[in-house]
Structure 1
Amino acid sequence: MAWKTLDDMDLKDKRVLTRVDINVPVEAGRVTDATRIERIAPTVRDILAAGGKPVLLAHFGRPKGQRVDDMSLQPLIPALEQHLGAPVVFAADCIGPAAEAAADALQPGQVLLLENTRFHAGEEKNAPELAAAMARLGDVYCNDAFSAAHRAHASTEALAHLLPSCAGRLMQAELSALEKALGAPERPVVAVVGGAKVSTKLELLSNLVEKVDILVIGGGMANTFLAAQGIDVGKSLCEHDMTGTAKDIAEKAARGGCEILLPRDVVVAWEFKEGADSKVVKAEDCPADAMILDAGPDSVAHICQTFDRAKTLIWNGPLGAFEIAPFDAATNAAAAYAAGLSRSGKLVSVAGGGDTVAALNKADAAEAFTYISTAGGAFLEWMEGKTLPGVAALG
């Protein structure tokens, strides 16, 4: 879809109402992980460089429409000033006379941080009157919060219709990466989907078998697909009530020419703990009293051969119980191999989702991937083929 970027807007002397995601972890009044703040820095710096005045809109926590002191954005100011390289002024509300006065008084080179948008019940209700009150604080609207784009909230959806609107640098990068991965990808396209349950990723799997050439299924959900083939998975995590659905997905894939890869061999253990005794068996030979906790080395070799054939890789979810050794081996090995292909320019690799980012970081593979999305729910909904309100509103 067509959406404007900061490069398409005249920002000189304009107040740029910028929706960001700075919902960062805070302990004892200090930011403990500034990753999300670091990722909005290019947008804020580019607005300042173009002579614009950034006015930041953001949510924090779940105050449910009430003013909750512990969920104020004010403690983020030192971290924002450090990473943005600019003085940050604070307004104790995101609408109203005080906020309007602060926006009007903003000087070139300064950044204005408005208080938590979710202190107002109208934010999550996408209330037009709240959006109109926010619009009075800016001349241009910039959405740089892809991670909140799947929510139709006042600051992400309604507001975009009230001012000239564009995507920020992080939003632009996310949309460009996802377009490369699913919109108009280089083929063959391989998707790795792991995780515990088929039931949580039904829409994702159903959409992907229509979009990708090869679908690698790992984690607990692979056990459900194995069970659907009549394989005894012992005491493994398995949704036996979803085997019919797994068969339907496999049939849909076959009709559309999408190849599904399931584990050929598996790592089994009799208890789920660090360093537990384990052994590798063929997928169909899982002992009745054991549980499958990872894909085996033959499966990993097959996955890596698939990566060799691919031009584009989408990754969501681990291949096994990656949190503890030795059940992290398959995820680590496959991720490292994909990272090597990405580093050499042979593979466009896009990954996202909470467990996915953690797993790729643990494997020291994340930095080599073409793009890592930290968006969570929005990334998943995009992969499911859903329209994201915050993105659609920019079109």
Structure 2
Amino acid sequence: MLDDRDEIERIFREEHGRVVASLARRFGDLDIAEEAAAEALLVAVERWPVDGVPPNPGGWLTTTAGNRAIDRIRRASKSDAKHRQAAMLHDDTPHAPTGPVTDDRLRLMFTCCHPALAPEARVALTLRMLGGLTVPEIAAAFLVSESTMGQRITRAKRKIKDAGIPFRVPDAEDLPARVHGVLAVLYLVFNEGYLATAGDEPARADLTAEAIRLGRQLHELMPEEPEITGLLALMLLTEARRASRFAGGELVPLGEQDRGGWDRALIAEGHDLVRQCLALGRPGQYQLMAAVNAVHTDAPTVADTDWAQVAALYGQLEAVAPSPLVTLNRAVAVAELDGPGVALATVDRLVVETPVLASYHAFHATRADLLRRLGRSAEAREAYDAAIAATANEAERAYLARRRRTLAG
């Protein structure tokens, strides 16, 4: 028996992507697929506490959602053609070949990252369908408003429907054109697990574990692609610090973490992957971020960190994949080399150039720390208040509040 609705919803989140993508391929309509999947969840909430969890929850949800979708089509049917479309859903012909990607979820990510969609749209849509992320979480990852992201996902669905883009399992020759979208999805899913946007838990180990699992699958599938190797290295080196990242209900920043608690096996594996990337000589976004993390995890103490190398790597990253967040991170390294005043000038200039940063908690937290180090306590206090207001992660809020309390005056 299963009485906990939270546990039912957890199972549903794990299976949601597979259910929706399966229905979308059969219907060619994402809206119907998502609505039917949601109805299947309601049925599960009613029946599973009585009947128990079925042996194959994903299959049960897919079948139930499919039946609900058929009912929807029949109710909305205005012609015999609609009835024929519903009848086709009972086709008992064997499933199509899976293609070169054997993992169900990874294959669906490749299926959804269709090159006919704009890069950001395909990533956002895949995160919504398969990544287990909500619209607010996806909006936070892209530094846009929730309404803007909702509209972006809606437009992507409409384009798929209007253009008749098929949910076809990709062949081997399709993979290179889609792999960067899949990498972006895995990276953002991992990030949400690393520091949750909201919720009771400050981090979501289920998301980081799934992103790493799929990263390993992808690396086995395309070992010659250095960005795949780089992303896997980045995730492993970041995950290695998980046990030291929270204590007493607070976030513990990198400089304060107990490095003895880091997972040395994951660090060794990540460093080996970074060396593989360097040997190829084709630097990319994820490889450079992995190299930054390799520098941090190579230092026995924060004082031993090679900040010049960190700043140089972020400089390369700005050239390869420029973004305000890269510049913000580079400013943190610059503060260690040239002082907080130089870094603060960069940060203040950055928000003028990219006003959306004003809604991003890490911007205010970085600025607050720089102001604190400069002895500008009143301004630092305001920046900490802004950072606290901009995050719903309780562990991060607790850390920021503690730092605010240490200010003079």
Range into which the TM-score falls when normalised by the shorter chain: under 0.3
Which structure features the higher share of strand residues? 1
State the TM-score, normalized to the length of structure 1: 0.25
Higher helix share: 2
**Of the two structures, which has the highest relative contact order with CA contacts closer than 8 Å and spacing of 6 or more?**
1
> So what's the TM-score if we normalise by structure 2?
0.24
